[in-house]
Amino acid sequence: MTPQTDMENGGHPAYWVKSVEKTFSVLLAFSADEPRLTITRAAAKADLSRAAARRFLLTLVDLGYLRMDGSHFELTPRCLDIGASFLANLSLPQIAEPHLKELAVDLNETASLCVLDGAEIVYLARVAAPRLLSVSVNVGTRFPAWATSMGRVLLAGLPERAREEYFASLSLQPFTHHSVSSIDRLRAEVDRAGAQGFSMVSQELDDGLRGVAVPVRRGNDLIAAINVSLQTHRVPEDEIARTVVPQLIQAAQSIADDFGGRRAAAS
């Protein structure tokens, strides 16, 4: 059933509450580019008269959603309460997916999110490159952690004792002739991933493919890793740290922020 509209209410449905619309127009007037607004500027951005904007701003101050600093107003942390319930019900894969999609489009490569489960990585989200019609790896797929870029990033984040216990229990079974063939070499690669903040694994799991991964951290906690899978002929290896890794780091930070990373860093 289509709600009846009221032409005297701007063509909106009859139930439309104009003051609610105006309240959110004032709140949304604040942005990263303009976090502090005067009454005049807020009125212009919210398309309100100066007198109306003043009433809305002062009411929002009384409610705790804005604070005053001289002639300027700015948002308070209480504004986070508006989206808190929504964010609390989002899972990590749901939060990561739009960022993975953006990464896949920007790089034209497949992007994935994984976590460590025992000695294996588990894919929680995966977005295929726009140029690919099918993907052989799906959500829920598992691989030995040691043979993947995401696995090595996640292993590097383990406490030292847990990492050494992992190495002690490991039996390497190479997938290709490029695969790491000794525990000492693997330990060096994991240490390198931890030191440089990313891991690159070239043709160790599958010929012709190179994986590049970075950690996703919420505060001090390592919660996951994201990577892109590159065909070896598409991006020269010596350009990856300059061209691919920064975009991965930015995507990982965005995922962490949306998953509560800003709150964890502030606490």
Residues of the chain with CATH 3.30.450.40: 91-266
Q: Cite the beta strand spans of 99-192 per DSSP E.
A: 110-117, 120-127, 142-144
pLDDT of 18: 92
| CB contact set of 266 (below 8 Å; sequence gap of 6+) | none
DSSP 3-state of 108: coil
Confidence band for 192, pLDDT divided at 50, 70 and 90 = very high
Q: Is the pLDDT of residue 81 over 60?
A: yes
Confidence band for 93, pLDDT divided at 50, 70 and 90 = confident
pLDDT of 137: 66
CATH of 7-84, one of 3.40.50.970, 1.10.10.10, 1.20.1250.20, 3.30.70.980: 1.10.10.10
What tens digit of pLDDT does each residue of 100-109 get?
999 888 888 8
Which CATH code fits 91-266? Answer: 3.30.450.40
Distance of CA 73 to the CA centre of its chain: 30
| pTM of full prediction above 0.75 | no
What tens digit of pLDDT does each residue of 124-159 get?
888 887 665 445 667 778 888 988 999 999 999 999
Residues of the chain with CATH 1.10.10.10: 7-84
The CA distance from 239 to 170, in Å, is 32
The CA distance from 43 to 56, in Å, is 10
Higher pLDDT, 170 or 239: 170
